[in-house]
Each structure stands twice: as structure tokens, then as C-alpha cells.
Amino acid sequence: MICKSNKPRNADATKEAILEAARIAFSEKGIDGVGVREIAEAAGCNAALVNRYFGGKEQLFAAALVGAFDMSQLLELPKDQFAEAMAAYMVSKRTEHKTFDPMFLALRSIFNPSAMELVRQEIQTHVTDVYASWLDGENRQLRAAMIGSLFAGFYLSRFVMCSESMGFEHDETLAPLLAKTLQIYVEG
Amino acid sequence: MICKSNKPRNADATKEAILEAARIAFSEKGIDGVGVREIAEAAGCNAALVNRYFGGKEQLFAAALVGAFDMSQLLELPKDQFAEAMAAYMVSKRTEHKTFDPMFLALRSIFNPSAMELVRQEIQTHVTDVYASWLDGENRQLRAAMIGSLFAGFYLSRFVMCSESMGFEHDETLAPLLAKTLQIYVEG
DNA sequence: TTGAAATGTCAACATTCGTTTACTTGAGTT
DNA sequence: AACTCAAGTAAACGAATGTTGACATTTCAA
């Protein structure tokens, strides 16, 4: 053998590399669109290590999902600034397809039965409940869910309808439209 | 052989049976979640016939998609009744998982690259453009896309967040909320 | 240095998939 | 009734999947 692997062995580092590669790959192709060999190659290791460190593909997805939805900083704003700030945030997020995006991590695997349950729990505990308790008035759960619904639908539509003729790039028109919608759900 | 197939041979009928089985199966499991053998079995024929009659799985999906989005009757309403009518329509549609639903036919396969292009074209020509030309005022394409976005997000959220604690079943609360949102996009 | 545990590699397993080929069975025509 | 072509079936192919076990290599403590 001429070529030996000269990089030092480090379980924690490779485990983290697998996790990072998984987050990106799952975001781009979904849990059913990417194979463990592909993830392992992106992480620079062997596919068998995925099972050794995470127990399987599904549990790797679960690990990639934890902490993906941390929207706490958005909720530190005063309520009368929230709608506008979130609209600006939604508009600003471009789907470059190359950077990790927690929204797509969830969206692209949402129809895999195992993944859906994981996503559902993660969204329920870290998004909907947080929003609901932050809101005032009645029907907080429903209004929080509608905020998430608007978020998901907007992401999905802009991703699918990427055509320039749709008008999704006219931020100065889009942002107020979104803000007005969000305001409805915030006010109740 | 004791048991012979006694049903008459009919190419058009089996072709239609395959198409109908495909529409249901694709709606329930997505293009990547169902196999041609499964579809053929539901249609009561052999998997090879799928390729004989449609040329392949992807073209079968394309055939299942044509005409799925016919929203023309919703647009016959006067504009001041549209938001309320569509909100009522969205609320009334329960995702029973057993009946064919064009929205899920598109949604569940949206992240398959081949299917996404087909869905995008179908939505663009049969939904967005129709809505856009129906609307008045400025930014019609964008506002039409936002109506579709709201529609998709709502379907998706209600499907994923099927928990009873979310409030998606309180039609008397949900419908006015949706109508108020739709009105924003109709008015512009 | 020696031994053992940790880390990584390799090859194979058993499925499943879409698709194709060769074949059999049926219906309609002359 | 015999012939013919369409309709349907069965089996196999090649590729890709997640997963596993045996094996090799490195690391580190005794």
C-alpha cells in the first residue's frame, strides 16, 4: 500500500462531520433522496460509520433535526414590530440550494412517514407552542399554526415557482403583503 | 390450470384503471413512495402494462396530473364573494387520505425533480395564470401566487399537524381567519 | 513493548426498484 | 376453424438501497 490515510482518528469529529453533511444533504434532497453512502462520502468517511454512530439513517435524520428550529430571537421583538420583521426575514431568505436551511430540512422530508412524525414533534414543541404562548388573545394555537402555515407555504411556493415572472423577487411589494397577512394572525 | 382469468380484455379500460390507481396512489404516497407493481396490482393488471401504455413511471405521473387542477368554477363567483367561498372550500376539505385529491397529488411529489417541473408547469398554466388574469389591479402574478401559497401551506400544515390540539377543526374560527387573509390578496 | 479497545474500511447481504424481454392467452376477422 | 395481432403475464436484469459482520488500522494505557 502506497497511500495510507494520514489524517488522525477522531470519533467526535467524524460524528460531527457526518451530522453536518447530513443536514446539508437532507436539506437539499430529502431523507429519501439521499443515500448514506453519499452522506458518508461528503463527510469523508465510510458509510458504515453512519450506523455505528447514529444507529441508522432515520436516527441520523432525527439527530440532524434537533435544534434546527430555534426561532427564539424573532420573538424577542415587541409585538407591533413582529409582523414587519418576520416578513423582512422571509423575503430576505433566498433559497440558494447550497446552504443549510432548517426549513427545507423539514420540508423536503415531510412526506416520509418516519420523518414526518419527527418533524411534527419538533415543530410542535419548538415553534407552534412557542408562538402560541407568545401570542395574546384567543385561539392562540390556531393562529400560531397559521403563522407556520404561511411560512411553509411561502417557502414551498417560492421554491417550486422559481420563475422570474412570478414576482417573488419584488421585495418592496412582497414584504408589505406578507406583513399585512402576518398582522392578522398576530392580532387575532 | 384451474383458475383462468375470465375478465374480458380491454386496453382502454385497463389503461384507465392504471391511471385511476396511479392518481390515488400518487396522492397518498407520492411518486417516490409507491412502486409500479403496487399501482398495477391496484389496477388489477401486470406492472409491465404501465410501461406499455404510458412509457414509464414518470410519464404515468404526468398523465395523472393533467386536468387535476381545474379551478374554473371557483372563479365564476363575484370578486366580493371569492374570499369567503374559497375559505369555506379550504376548511371543508378534509384530508381523509382515501379519496383522490389533486392538491396532494402535486404536494406529495413536489420534491421529486422530474415531478416538480411537471407540477410547476401545471400550476403555472392552470392556476396561477388563471388567477392572475382574474384579479384586478397591480402585481397580479404575485398576488395569485400568494393565494396558491396560502392554499398549499394550509393543506400541508393541516396534514402534518393533524393533532386535535391545533385548532384546525374549529371551522367557525378558521374560516373567517382564512377569508380575511385571502381578501388581502384579492384586493391587492 | 504489548495488548486491548477504539476507529475506520471493505465486502457482502437481502431487498426493492423501474424496466425489458420472451412468452402465453385471448378476441376478432376471413 | 385457422390465422393474426393485440392484450396480458412471468421472469429476469441491472442498479441502488440500508444494513451488517469480519477485518484492518490506529491510539493509548499498562
Domain boundaries along the sequence of chain B: 11-64, 72-187
Instruction: Count CB atoms within 10 A of the CB of residue A128.
Output: 24
Contacts of A4 (CB under 8 A, 6+ apart): none
Q: Do B161 and A120 touch, CB atoms closer than 8 A?
A: yes
Higher pLDDT among residues A94 and A11, named by residue: A11
Residue B93 pLDDT > 90: no
Higher pLDDT among residues B133 and B6, named by residue: B133
DSSP one-letter code for A31: T
Q: How far is the CA of B48 from the C1' of C20 (A)?
A: 9
Q: Do A149 and B157 touch, CB atoms closer than 8 A?
A: yes
Q: CA nearest B137: which of A122, A105, A167, A110?
A: A167
Element (H, E) at A72: none
Locate the chain A residue with the closest alpha carbon to B141: A166
Q: How far is the CA of A2 from the C1' of C7 (A)?
A: 21
Looking at beta carbons, which residues of chain B come within 8 Å of A163? 120, 124
pLDDT band at B99, cuts 50/70/90?
low
Shortest Cα distance, chain B CAs vs residue A89, angstroms: 17
Nearest residue (Cα to C1') for C21? Answer: B48
> Which of B139, B143, B181 comes nearest A184 by C-beta?
B181
Q: Which three cell numbers stand for residue A18?
A: 457526518
Let me know if B180 is exposed, middle or buried by CB neighbors in 10 A (0-12, 13-18, 19+): middle
Contacts of B64 (CB under 8 A, 6+ apart): B19, B22, B23, B26, B105
Residue linked to cell 382564512: B178
Residue A3 pLDDT > 50: no
Contacts of B91 (CB under 8 A, 6+ apart): B171, B174, B175, B178
Q: Would you call A150 and B150 a contact, using CB atoms and an 8 Å cutoff?
A: yes
Q: Which three cell numbers stand for residue B106?
A: 402535486
Those residues whose beta carbons lie under 7 A from strand D are A 1, 4-5, 8-9, 34-38, 47-48, 50-51, 56-58; B 5, 9-11, 13-14, 45-49, 52
CATH architecture of A72-187: Orthogonal Bundle (1.10)
Rounded percentage of chain B residues whose pLDDT exceeds 90: 72
Q: Do A125 and B165 touch, CB atoms closer than 8 A?
A: no
Can you name the CATH fold of B11-64?
Arc Repressor Mutant, subunit A (1.10.10)
Rounded percentage of chain A residues whose pLDDT exceeds 90: 72
pLDDT of residue A162: 79
pLDDT of residue A70: 82
